[in-house]
Amino acid sequence: MRTEELISPASGKILRFDADRNLLTIFMHLHNVHLTVAPLDGVVTRITPEKGTFRPAFVRSADFNTKNTIELSTAFGDVRVVQIAGFFTRKILCNVQVGQQVQQGERLGKICFGSRVDITVPEGFALLVTEGARVRCGQTPLAHKKTT
């Protein structure tokens, strides 16, 4: 893997990209593998679990669902991977701890059943995917470092 590529932290379908927040949303269908992995090498700086609702993960109101935010400090800037519970989901597993060094593709956790993952794209990265694209956990490059 090339560390100048931001890889997909989850398998699923790209729902949207919010350019104002550099936020990419991936919907995981019931049939997808629900693991989440580190999109870049980095250090876990913060883990923030939040209780919330359990709305279908593909609707915008799912922003208020139960979630777990894993913040990584990387060579390219801070990246947040947000594990968001869906309608059927009641459990989010986190396999990392604050201060832990993670390698690109290393397991961060798991969300049980259909759910969503939001990821911030660092400044200076160009998107390689579009809305509707299918992505694979730890394999599909989502963005790459722009060359100057």
**What does 40-94 look like in DSSP terms, one character per residue?**
SSEEEEEEEEE--B---TTSGGGGGB-EEEEEEEETTEEEEEEEE--SS---EEE
Give the active site residue among 11, 61, 73, 115: 115
**What are the backbone dihedrals phi and psi of residue 145, each rounded to the nearest 5 degrees, phi first?**
-65, 125
CA angle 94, 100, 106 (to 5 degrees): 60
Q: Does 61 qualify as catalytic in the annotation? A: no
Give every CB contact of residue 27 below 8 A, 6+ residues apart in sequence. Answer: 12, 13, 15, 57, 58, 116
- 60, 105 contact by CB (below 8 A): no
Question: Among all residues, which ones are annotated catalytic?
Answer: 115
